[in-house]
Every structure is written in structure tokens, then in C-alpha cells.
Structure 1
Amino acid sequence: MTLRSHRGSLLAPIAVLAISASACSSELAGSAVPQAAAIKSSTQPADVFRNLSACDLLEPTTTAKDFASPVEETYESDNGCGTRKYGYGSVTLYLVPEAGIDQLSAGQGTKIPTKVGERDAVEIPGDAGKQACTVAIAVTPNARMTASTGLNKGTNEEACALSREIATAAEPKLPRGN
């Protein structure tokens, strides 16, 4: 009985070593990468915004208009920023590396094709109801920047004017897509 117990305890570590060794090949030059990690990294798109911060793009326009200091947000992507102005409203700017303007929902509004600089864009008056607007700029077919405004009082057009201003100021700093 002791022999069986001892033999079973040797098989488990040997099986673990055999399985671990089979995940990597010693025939190829370079460092070993587990198969699952290699598949994941090859299928994920590169983040075109990796060196750009949404707050750096939003801050110059909103500070000049007496908004509070922008703070990071992660509603639409991991690279977002928002700020408020008491009694006026709020604005956000998001850099979305995994979805282009075609994937953007119009919400309660309607997408209107436009241009910001030389880039394709859409304007969505009323996307979040009255007194709201989003302007989204295509950076690549699968990446976008969005500037959204929600006013406490006013019109969709007034909200769109501020979203356009933010988008226009940020556009030259955006990477050039493929």
C-alpha cells in the first residue's frame, strides 16, 4: 500500500512538468511565450492612442471656459476625461481605440456626417436627450475620439457648438490613422 501511494505522488509532478514543457518549443529562436498569450496579443488591435491622454486634449478648451479641472473617466473607454461647470453643464472627451465612428450609437439623436479638419466625423445632436450633443472623429476605421456636451439649460445646437469646439481643438493632436 505504501508503494502505491508513493508511486501516485510521483506521477503528479511528472505530469505537470510534461504539460508545462509541451506549451513551449525549444526548436524556435527567441523567448518562449505561452500559446494563449500569443493568440491574444496577435488578435487585439494596437492602441493608436497609447501615447495620448484624453485629459490633455480636453483641459485647454475647458480651463479657458472656467470649467473645473478635468478628471479621468472610464465610461466609453479606459482613456476618457470629464469636467463640469457649475450651473452650466458637463463635457467629456474619450479616445476609443477599439470602435470607430460607425460603431457609435446615436442614442436619442441622429448621426449627421461631417468633417473636423480633414477627418471624417459625425455630429449627434440630442444623443442624450435635449441640451446634449456628441461630435466623434474617425482616427482609423476602428478608432475614434468623441467630445460630448450636456447642458443644464440651452439647446442641442449650443451643446453641439461646444462639442465641435473641443473636437476641433483636439483634432490636430490626434494620431494619423492608416
Structure 2
Amino acid sequence: MKINVRSVAIPAILAIAFTSSGCSPEKTGTPSPGSTSASAGSSPQTTPSGKIFGDLKACALLEPVTTPKGFSKPTEEDYESDNGCQAQKSEYGVISTYLVDKAGIDELTPGRGTKVPTQIAGREAVEIPGSGGTYTCMIGVAVGPKARMTVGTTLLKGSNEEACASSKEVAEQLASKLPQGS
């Protein structure tokens, strides 16, 4: 008797697929559906689950601060998080800001600089002069134990102190627009 390979293979593949999906043998009880998104009749959430910044965008924060000072229109970037932004100014340098919802200021690495504890608009913060080498400074502002905003300045010429003054000025202006965190 000749056996058709397809007639055996297809049911075997389907059996494997059905037994490997669905309920797990390790868990007992009644299966229930996972959480579902809000229905059309319910009110929208203002902050998505696990996202302390909600819909707040780094470029929306940075633009009103840098554009009046002659910086280019801010552009999105994702070096430190998926919610970053930078603005450039000819003959000056670059200012960037990031909203990081999965790492607090304790997790900032100083690069070539040294972390110095400080306060920005009444919030815990760290200042890192020389974070990226000469003419640079980063300020990290706590938004919660596991969330932060950073403001970094890289100057074309000047000093780390001047870069820190720039970062601090921008951070002070942005901090009041941040959520309180938990």
C-alpha cells in the first residue's frame, strides 16, 4: 500500500500546531482573555500603561525654548531613548533632550565626566560636566525612581562650565512641564 506523504504530514503539522498553542498544561483554572483595549464608548487613558510621560514628546518641550534663541527646528533622535530631540545653532552647538521612561538618574553613566548631585526646579538631578568630552555637559532630572529627563549641550567652542550653564537653563525651563512621577 502506497502512503501519500502529504496526507500524513499535513494532519501531523496541524496536530503539533494545535497542541503547542492555546492553554498551557502547567496552569490550572479557567482560561480568560487578556486585557483588551478601551472600547469606543469608554474614555481614553491620558497616560498609557507603563509610560510615565504619556503623550509628551521631547521635541514639543524643546522647540519653544530653543527656536526663539535662533536654533534650528528640533529634530527627533533616539540615541538615549525613543523620545529624544535635538536642536542645532550655527557657530554655537547642539542642545538635546530625552524623556527616558525606563531608567532613573542613578542609571546615568558619566562618560568622561563626573556626576554631581544638584536640584533642578525642586527635583533631584545630576550634572555631568564633560560627559561627552570637552565643551559638553548633561543634566539628568528625576521624574520618578525609574524615569528621567536629560538635557545635553555640546558647544563648538567654550568650556564644560558654559555647556552646563546652557543645559541647566534649558532643564529649568522644561522641568515644570514634566509629570510628577511616583
Q: TM-score range by the shorter chain?
A: 0.7 to 0.9
Residue of structure 1 in register with 2:79 after alignment: 75
The alpha-carbon distance between structure 1 residues 2 and 77, as it changes in their structure 2 partners (threshold 3 A), is: same
- Report the CA distance between 1:4 and its aligned residue: 6.7
CA distance in 1, matches of 2:33, 2:90: 57
The alpha-carbon distance between structure 1 residues 142 and 26, as it changes in their structure 2 partners (threshold 3 A), is: same
Q: How does 1:32-43 map to 2 (within 5 A)?
A: none
Tell me if 1:105 matches 2:109: yes
The alpha-carbon distance between structure 1 residues 3 and 117, as it changes in their structure 2 partners (threshold 3 A), is: same
Which letter maps to 2:18? L
> Counterpart of 1:47 in 2: which secondary structure?
coil
Tell me if 1:62 matches 2:63: no
The alpha-carbon distance between structure 1 residues 103 and 32, as it changes in their structure 2 partners (threshold 3 A), is: closer
RMSD: 2.3
Tell me if 1:2 matches 2:6: no
- Report the CA distance between 1:140 and its aligned residue: 1.0
The alpha-carbon distance between structure 1 residues 9 and 58, as it changes in their structure 2 partners (threshold 3 A), is: closer
Residue of structure 1 in register with 2:12 after alignment: 11
Tell me if 1:135 matches 2:139: yes
- List per-residue Cα deviations over 1:74-119 (Å, max 9, x = no partner): 0011000001101111110001111111110111111110111121
- List per-residue Cα deviations over 1:102-150 (Å, max 9, x = no partner): 1101111111101111210001111111211111101111111000001
Question: TM-score, with normalisation over the residues of structure 2?
Answer: 0.83
> Counterpart of 1:64 in 2: which secondary structure?
helix
Residue of structure 1 in register with 2:159 after alignment: 155
The alpha-carbon distance between structure 1 residues 153 and 175, as it changes in their structure 2 partners (threshold 3 A), is: same
> Number of aligned pairs?
167
- Report the CA distance between 1:29 and its aligned residue: 3.4
Question: TM-score, with normalisation over the residues of structure 1?
Answer: 0.85
Residue of structure 1 in register with 2:53 after alignment: 49
CA distance in 2, matches of 1:28, 1:96: 36
Q: Which runs of 5+ in 2 are unaligned?
A: 37-48
> Counterpart of 2:79 in 1: which secondary structure?
coil
Q: Which runs of 5+ in 1 are unaligned?
A: 34-44
CA distance in 1, matches of 2:10, 2:130: 67
> Counterpart of 1:2 in 2: which secondary structure?
coil
The structure in which a higher percent of residues are helix is 1
> Counterpart of 2:124 in 1: which secondary structure?
strand
